[in-house]
Chains A and B, each alone.
Chain A
Amino acid sequence: MEQDQRTIVGVYHLSKTFGKHFSLHDINLQVANGEFVFLVGPSGAGKSTLLRMIYMDDVPSSGQVVVGPHVSTRMKRGTIPELRRRIGIVFQDFRLLDDKTIFENVALALKVAGAGPAEVKHQVTDILMRVGLYHKRYDFPHELSGGEQQRVAIARAVANRPSVLLADEPTGNLDPVVTRSILELLFKINAGGTAVLMATHDLDLVKSFGQRIIYVESGRVVKDKDMIYVGDLRERIAGSAVSEKADRLKDRDITGDGGHRR
C-alpha cells in the first residue's frame, strides 16, 4: 500500500484476534512525520497490542501496518531489525540492561546499528547530555531513580535518530512530577522532528497538552483527531464534565496537513 509521504506510521483496517476474541478490531490511524499523538484508553483496550503490531513484534490477523517503507504484509523477517532502527521504543518498565552502565545501555543501540567506536562515543555523550544524565554515565541502572532510568531508556530509543518514537505507558511507574519531566523530554524530542506515539491510560494527564488524542476502547478506535470529543471520552472514563481545556482545543487540527488519508 502506498501512503502519503508525510505519514510515518499508517495502520489500515487492522484486526487482531487471539483465539476467538478480538483484541483489535478494524483499526485505522495514521501518524504524520513530526506529529505528537497520544493513544489513550483503559487498560486492556489493546494499546500495547497495537504498538506491538507497529514495531512488528506480532503480525495482524488482517489489515496492514506501514512504517516508512516497511509494509507488514510484505515484510521479511530479515528486515525487521532495519525497521526497529527507524523506531524508538520505550516501555513502562524501562527495560534497561542491569549489567551494563548507563553509557553502555545507550551505546548498545548504536552498536547494533553498526556505528564505529568514535561515533558511538560522540553520539552517546551528546544524547546523555541532552537528557541530563551525562554525569551518571558510569552508573548502573539500579543506582538511578525511576525517572532517570526512563530518561536513559528514552536516550537509547532515540540514539539512532528514529523517525518515530513509540512509548508504551512510559510514565506508568513514575510520580506526577517525574511524569511531567518525562513528558517534557518527549516533547523536546518531538520538537527535534521525531514523531511520537505515546500510549497511556491516563487521559487527565495528557488532555491538557493540546496534542492529538486517539482514543481506543475494547480494541476499537472510538475517537480520533478532533479534540471536541475529549469531553465525551472523559464522560466515558470518569463520568465527569467536559474539561475546559478540551473545549479550548475543540476545533484545532493538530496534524497540520488537513487530516488523514486512507
Chain B
Amino acid sequence: MNLNQLRYVIDESMTMISRRKAANAISIVIMGLSLLILGVFLLVTLNVQVVIDRASEEMRIYVYLRDGTDAAAARDIQMRLLRLEGVEEVVFVSRDEALSSFRATLGENKDMLEALESNPLPDAFRVKIKPEYIRSEYMAKLTGEAGKWAGVEEVRYGERWLARGEKLVKGFYLADLAIGVIIFLSVIFVIANTVRLTVLSRQKTIEVAKLIGATNAYIRIPFLVEGALQGAVASLLAVGLLAVIHLFVKRYLPGVLFLRGEVVAGFVVFCALLGAFGSYGAMRRFLKV
C-alpha cells in the first residue's frame, strides 16, 4: 500500500464514520459508560492501595527484651536486627521511656498507673522496616527469626491489621480484574456489532471496491480504524466522566488521587486495540474478501 492509498483509506474511514454518526455515537456512549464503571473501580482501588501503603509505612516491629538482659546483650541484638534484610532503623526504647509514653497515651486515666509498685514494661527495640518489605510473609519470617534469639522475650507487630489490609487490596484487584474482563468483553462485542452493521450497510461499496481491484487491506483498514477510534473515543469519554466524578469527590475527600497520566494513556491505547480487535472479529465473520 503506497502513501496515496493510505491517505484515501483514511479519508474513506472518516467518510464512513461520519455517515454513521448516530450509530457510532450510541455505541460510544454505551461503551463509555461501561468503561466508566471500570474506571470508578480502578480509582477506588488506587486510593485504597495508597491509604493502606501509607499506613503500613508507619508500622513498626517491637522486639521486647527479657528482664535482666544486660546492655552488651542488648547491643548484640540490636546489631543482629540491623543486619536483617529490609531493616531500616532500630531504636532502643527503655522501659522508663515506654512507661512515660504509655502514661502520655492514657492522658486523664494516667492515675491507673499509680497503683503499680514497679514498672511492668520491658525494654524493647522499635524496628522500622523499609516500605517494600512490609508484607505479611516477610514480616512473619523476620519476627519468627528474631523471636528465637536469646534475650528476646517476644516480637510483635500489627500482623492482623497488615493481613487485613493486604486482603482488602487483593480483593479490590480481583474485583477489578473480574469487572475488567466483563467490561472489555462487552466493549469488544459492542464494537464488533457496530462494525458488523457498518459492513452490512456497505456491502455494495465493498463489492465494487473488490471488482475494481482494491486490496483486502484497502477494504479492511477503514473498518479497523472505525473500531479503534470507537474504542479510543469511548475510553476518553469514560476518563472524562471519571475526572468529573473525581473533582466532585475531592470536595469531600481532598486527598483522593486520580489515575496517573500513563495509566490513562495505556487505558486509551488498550481500548483502541480492543476496538480494532472487535472490528477484525466482525470482518472475519461478515466481510468476505
Contacts and interface: CB of A to CB of B under 8 A. Distances in A.
Nearest to A79: B215
A109 B5 contact: no
B204 A84 contact: no
B149 interface: no
A106 B240 CA distance: 43
Contact of B213 (A85, A96, A99, A117): A85
Nearest to A104: B15
B4 A81 contact: no
Contacts of B207: 95
A111 B10 CA distance: 12
B288 to A, nearest CB: 11
B212 A84 contact: yes
A81 B213 contact: yes
B214 interface: yes
Contacts of B119: none
B213 A113 contact: yes
A42 B202 CA distance: 32
| Main DSSP-derived SS at the B contact region | helix
A99 B210 CA distance: 17
A220 interface: no
Most buried by A among B1, B204, B207, B212: B212
Given A81-B214, A99-B19, A112 B209 contact: yes
Interface in A96-153: 96-97, 99, 108-109, 111-117
B183 to A, nearest CB: 35
Contact of A108 (B1, B208, B215, B216): B208
Contacts of A89: 211-212
B5 A84 contact: no
A244 interface: no
B204 A112 contact: no
Contact of B5 (A57, A99, A111): A111
A82 interface: yes
B160 to A, nearest CB: 65
B4 A116 contact: yes
Contact of B218 (A57, A83, A112, A160): A112
Given A97-B205, A99-B19, A160 B4 contact: no
Contacts of B8: 111-112
Contacts of A113: 213
A112 B5 contact: yes
B105 interface: no
Nearest to B211: A89
B208 A160 contact: no
A215 interface: no
B118 interface: no
A55 interface: yes
B2 interface: yes
Given A99-B19, A114-B4, A116-B4, A85 B208 contact: no
Contacts of A109: 212-213
Given A95-B204, A99-B19, A112-B218, A84 B4 contact: no
Contacts of B218: 81, 112
A113 B198 CA distance: 24
A47 interface: no
A156 interface: yes
A112 B208 CA distance: 11
A97 B210 contact: no
A84 B213 CA distance: 5
Interface in B176-212: 204-205, 207-212
B19 A82 contact: no
B29 to A, nearest CB: 25
Contacts of A157: 212
Interface string A152-186: 00001100100000000000000000000000000
B204 A114 contact: no
A83 B19 CA distance: 31
Given A95-B208, A97-B204, A81 B5 contact: no
23 contacts: A57-B211, A78-B215, A81-B213, A81-B216, A84-B210, A84-B212, A89-B211, A89-B212, A95-B204, A95-B207, A109-B212, A109-B213, A111-B4, A112-B209, A112-B212, A112-B214, A112-B215, A114-B2, A117-B4, A156-B212, A157-B212, A160-B212, A160-B213
